[in-house]
Amino acid sequence: MKKALITGITGQDGSYLAEFLLNKGYEVHGLIRRASTFNTRRIDHIYRDPHVGNGINLKLHYGDVAGMSSLLDIIYNIKPDEIYHLAAQSHVRVSFDMPDYTGDVTGLGTIRILEAIRKSGVNARFYQASSSEMFGAARPPQNEQTRFEPQSPYAAAKLYAYWVSRNYREGYGLYACNGILFNHESVRRGETFVTRKITRALAAIMAGQQDYLYLGNLEAKRDWGYAPEYVEAMWLMLQQAQPDDFVIGTGEAHSVREFLEEAFGYVGLDWQEYVRIDPRYFRPTEVDILLADARKARKAMGWVPHINFHEMVRIMVDADLELAGVPAPGQGRYLLESRFNSWHHWRDQIRSMEIEVRN
């Protein structure tokens, strides 16, 4: 049985990756920060208390990428075959307000893990969650050869993590890969990210709980994919004979305005009646368009996305409508049932959020 360690396991990508690896027969270990409140709702449906019985393949460990000693101890004791480093301060707009914290966690957190791997002597394959934001102002489409032009503290921190991962690969012979993932969304996306902010607000508006949705730049274009498909790409990278870096995306770009049109139009509403612009949500330096050229990943790993932009939006809208107690059109639910047989995971997620709200 292979062992995998996931930092950021309680996030969107971490929770989907944990499910994916458990289904592959892995023993999965997750790094979580100690807090006074529970922050594990995205993985509650797959976690079992180790006191209940044997055969538990998901184990959680308290630690923080801001501290070297705990990382070294955990990696040395677990001796994972694969390490997926997903933990970060990952909100681009917030990185302008907290640049020092973003640099410490998102940038230096990566070199702490790499040093822990090197010093422990553990022969683990390492995945670094790089970001399309590193391309910034670069001309689209962007691929592995495109020059990076970061436009935010978050992007600059990710770029540092990208280069130190390559440095440890070339300097110390570590199996280290950079997955340069373009935007990927789902029903588990954080509530402050623009896509989930839109679908949650739409549900609240239809439930009579909210009047308006406040946003910033509506013209920014992103290559948006479906998050559960992207964690498979992470895994595929660590299965290659040699470590390498890969761009992952759909090859299509859509604006925030188009996301609004798709989401509100899906339920028969005109988004312009409900959306207001708030200058506070504009970034000091904007990124106009990010568009992936993922031909390398397609050729080397056979990875291709299957859920398109319109389907992804409907999946997310259905989920938030049901969470708000509003009847959903159901096209997103049908899509998951017919293609992936994973609707029960979505239902478990909704139930866990409902319980959290009631408590």
Q: Which of 120, 131, 132, 152 is catalytic?
A: 131
Task: Write out the H or E segment, with its range, that includes residue 131.
Answer: strand 125-131
> What sign has the CA pseudo-torsion 215, 221, 225, 230?
negative
120 catalytic? Reply is no
For residue 266, how many C-alpha atoms fall within 13 Å in the half-sphere facing its CB? 27
The DSSP-derived string for 207-238 is: TTS-S-EEES-S--EE--EEHHHHHHHHHHHT
Cα angle value 64/165/189 (rounded, 5°): 55
The DSSP-derived string for 172-209 is: H---EEEEEEPPEE-TTS-TTSHHHHHHHHHHHHHTTS
Q: Which of 26, 84, 154, 230 is catalytic?
A: 154
36 catalytic? Reply is no
133 catalytic? Reply is yes
Residues written for the chain: 359
Q: Which of 27, 82, 133, 258 is catalytic?
A: 133
**Which parts of 89-193 fold into alpha helices (H)?**
92-97, 99-102, 109-120, 153-172
Q: Which residues are catalytic?
A: 131, 133, 154
